[in-house]
Amino acid sequence: MNISKSYQSHIKVISKSYQSHCKAAAKPLQSRWKVCLCIWLLVFVAAGPSVTAQKIVHLYPDSKNKSERKVTLECYPVENPIATVVVCPGGSYCWLDYEGEGQEVAQWLQSQGFSAFVLRYRVAGWWAWAFHYRTICRGRQQPDMFNDAHAALRWLNDHAKEYNIDTKRIGMMGFSAGGHLVMTMGCFERELKPLFVAPIYPVVTMTEECVHRRSRRGLLGDKGWRDERLRDSLSIERHVPKDCPPVFVVNCVDDPVVDYHNSMLLDSALTAQGVKHKYIQYKTGGHGFGVNEKKGSEECRPWKWEFLKWYKQL
């Protein structure tokens, strides 16, 4: 018993000593953890406002239509813009590469003195692409995205004073399917025709062999894409007007997504109608590189600087 009591007493002493030691050791660890947390927060804040911190406006704020209420403009203004650009990301009219072909592009344009506004327009959606449910119900398809682009131009005109926008200097830049969207506005928009359009590796045709089929189905729907008249009506190369605004086109021959002949068709149509434009065709670069310095190729990445040179000559 005496041994047992002595053992228990010894254990209690050791336990108290261990607890005291742990508490003493924990204090500097807690202090270090707090310091690390403070440093991390300071670094995060010092990095500047995040992309999601930009002002987002809803183009149909009072709409009862759920999909319309999701249509937005994300604002990247500058105090005295050299021009204003509506940025339309691509995604086959089925989804949007909103970060790579939207936000990153807007940030770059902003750094060059443009006020940029990223349009989140309506697209078919992943479910429509995967399950073809638009054979039963309408879903989202044309002319939804065209209405959204028009609404974006209308909103910028209505809020021109607030953002110091020259309404005569509003252009549009689109990527892939977004390139088709901005060209549609350049060809068919009458009330608020943009100053220029810049389709980058664009979808163009809805009829020729080089058609991008996923974009065609995304735009026209699971029934509409079979309609020959509808396909023809939205094949840009067949409807370029003589009063089309100046166009800046870029694509790559090795594009694995949108056949490079789309841009060649557009170039030929613009030339035939005498529309002022610049077409740059790179051999390498692929698709979906946006303004990212790590995507594409060394050959194609300077396209954005070529765009700046071209714009200054307008």
pLDDT of residue 47: 35
Q: Is the dihedral of CA 129, 130, 135, 139 positive or negative?
A: negative
Q: What is the pTM of this model?
A: 0.83
Q: Do 274 and 138 lie in a common domain?
A: yes
Q: Does 39 lie in the same domain as 5?
A: yes
CATH code, 94: 3.40.50.1820
Give CA–CA dist 270/88, Å, rounded: 21
- Whether 205 and 260 map to the same domain: the answer is yes
Q: Examine the domain organization and report whether 256 and 112 are in the same domain.
A: yes
- Asked if 220 and 213 count as a contact pair (C-beta separation under 8 A), the reply is no
95 and 2 in a common domain: no
Considering the domain architecture, whether residues 23 and 105 belong to the same structural domain is answered as no
Task: Judge if 171 and 275 occupy the same domain.
Answer: yes
Rounded CA gap, 264 and 249, in Å? 10
Do residue 67 and residue 208 come from a single domain? Answer: yes
| 311 conformational bin, left if phi > 0, alpha if psi -120 to 50, beta if neither | alpha
Burial string for 18-30 (b: 16+ CB within 10 Å, else e) reads eeeeeeeeeeeee
Range of the domain at 267: 51-312
124 and 166, same structural domain? Answer: yes
DSSP structure class, residue 207: S
Residues 290 and 244 in one domain: yes
Tell whether 37 and 171 lie within a shared domain.
no
List, for residues 75-133, the tens digit of each pLDDT value.
999 999 999 999 999 999 999 999 999 999 999 999 999 999 999 999 999 999 999 98
